[in-house]
Homo-oligomer: A and B are copies of this chain.
Amino acid sequence: MRAVDLIRKKRDAGKHSREEIDFLVSGYTRGDIPDYQMAAWLMAALLRGLNHAEISALTEAMLDSGAVVDLSSLPGRKVDKHSTGGVGDKTSLILAPIVAAGGLTVPMISGRGLGHTGGTLDKLESIPGFNTSLSLEAFRRVLGECGMALIGQTAEIAPADKKIYALRDSTSTVENIGLICASIMSKKLAEGIDALVLDVKTGSGAFMQKEEDAVQLAEVMVETAQRMGKKSVALITDMNQPLGRMAGHSNEIVECIEVLRGTGPKDLRDLSVELSAWMFFLGERSASVEQGRHLAEKMINSGQALETFRKVIELQGGDPRIIDNTSLLPAARSQISVVSPHSGYIRDTNCMQFGIALAMLGGGREKKEDGIDHGVGLEFHKRIGDHVASDETLVTVHYNSEAKLKEATALIAASFEIGEQAPPSGPLIRLIIGGLPG
């Protein structure tokens, strides 16, 4: 088998066998296939497409490039959730304590923020002392002690994905559903889980802005998980505005604690409960999603979920006092309001722009190497459908530097569409794909 022939095959819209995909991925990971051949193949795959069998083979080959975390020493079912990312999307830090408190194991390997989206690891690191770089041994220990643990990708997990992703980033071959699916699923399936709940965002703040693209990605991911013997469901959820009131890092931790206390914004609580309910159902902890919902509510109302969050912070080296005293979290020095230019109803937002504005203020990265200011953030006072008066505050901007402040606030102001008529209201959860035992 020769890489040049496989490139030609995909170029001419051919379908690869599992052996051919294995040859490409293992050869590239070992360094036998050079970057330039992989780059040509990636572009051919992006433009010609990959079918479901090819995507499964690619996912599996990338998974097999590294180790699968062995969680067999831990009792019970292991479940996780993956979100395709958005602005203010912090459900991981709410549902993991809920589901762990409810008796399942949640081995969560997360990523960092890039571009307009936040990353779970970055949010956690706003907690003083919190260590997201545990060894696999420590990861297992924390999981055993509190039912959840939160770490970053290790060198053992899907090294092929790491290498291929870097190449895709520099060759404009990111935006392909098959390649995206394989990248996500190879890492998630390496967690040694039994079931996976997917939150596929769609709307102006999502990678998949069009619902049809989100649905297609969701279908491919659910099918890939099921082919590999994992239970899976995907919720297509709205990302036309930030989730919850907070976007940033330490302010999102504060909001998670609020939801775990039984307060916090309704949209964030509802979605966290719904995703938890599906995790309970697929993890066979509840006989139905409805029962899972009740269990999730119980874990919040009893305070057990909050105690699990406190415990995991402690076990991973963080300061657990932040649970009761959020002023221990980093905060920005200054605040400024973005106000409404006139009265009316908020009809829509260009949600991605909020993420970009946050990054401008230091709360996001343009390049992987960039640092993060955990204290800066945006606080949203109004949601789509709300009425605002002229000069009423839309967003409070928490900032440390005035460097790009003007640019950022202008961007935020321009991202609201305010009109005379209230817009029709849409559901937060738009569609559910999969979910039946695969």
Contacts and interface: CB of A to CB of B under 8 A. Distances in A.
Contacts of A263: none
B47 A171 contact: no
A44 interface: yes
A343 interface: no
A213 to B, nearest CB: 15
B11 A46 contact: yes
Interface in A150-193: 167, 169-173
Interface residues of A, number: 24
Interface stretch (A35-43, A77-85, A354-362, A424-432): A35-43
A294 interface: no
Contacts of A173: 11, 40
A201 B42 CA distance: 33
Contact of A4 (B4, B11, B36, B172): B172
9 contacts: A4-B171, A11-B173, A36-B39, A37-B170, A37-B171, A39-B39, A40-B43, A40-B172, A43-B47
Interface string A3-14: 011011001000
Contacts of A48: 47
Interface of A: 4-5, 7-8, 11, 34-40, 42-44, 46-48, 167, 169-173
Given A35-B35, A36-B35, A38-B36, A11 B43 contact: yes
A173 B39 CA distance: 12
Nearest to A7: B172
B47 A44 contact: yes
Contacts of A43: 7, 11, 39-40, 43-44, 47
- 10 tightest Cβ-Cβ pairs between the two chains A and B: A40-B171, A8-B172, A43-B43, A35-B36, A36-B39, A7-B172, A39-B40, A39-B39, A40-B43, A36-B36
